[in-house]
Amino acid sequence: MSSTIYVLNGPNLNLLGLREPEIYGTDTLDDIAGMLEDRAAELGLTIDMRQSNHEGHLVDWLHEAQATGAKAVLLNAGGFTHTSVAVHDAIKSVTTPVIEVHLSNPHRREAFRHVSLVGQAARGTIAGFGALSYTLALEAAARF
């Protein structure tokens, strides 16, 4: 098993820092990547951070994480969280542990966000702590 943690981000997360900062905060995806890289180095891990607005990329990257022996995947699937059977099935098709991550708490938002297809397949979920959600998920993944 490698010491690499994949950090996969779905649609619109490239706009963090600009998009609805009252919900998602002012940290950019680059800010979060830097924070994770620093903590990962302290833990003896490496981060492979990626973002795509395309569902198939997330599916391919989940398969890649399995093929390369990644230690874990942190996945913020964005809007695909609630709609993607393909991402759900990809998580179930790999043995690499997947931790669902959200900046906001979906249960405190619109009703359509209350069902997570990703969460139904993931090992666990960390949500509602802003950028800290990623660090908390990294801490959990380090213990696998």
CA distance 8 to 101: 10
Q: Which of 6, 24, 88, 134 is catalytic?
A: 24
Q: Which of 102, 107, 114, 134 is catalytic?
A: 102
- For domain 4-142, give the fold: Rossmann fold (3.40.50)
pLDDT higher at 14 or 1? 14
Q: At 110, is the pLDDT very low, low, confident or very high (cuts 50, 70, 90)?
A: confident
Q: Is the pLDDT assigned to residue 28 strictly greater than 90? A: yes
Element (H, E) at 33: helix 29-42
3-state secondary structure of 85: helix
88 is catalytic: no
What are the domain boundaries of the chain? Answer: 4-142
Q: Is the pLDDT assigned to residue 84 strictly greater than 80? A: yes
102 is catalytic: yes
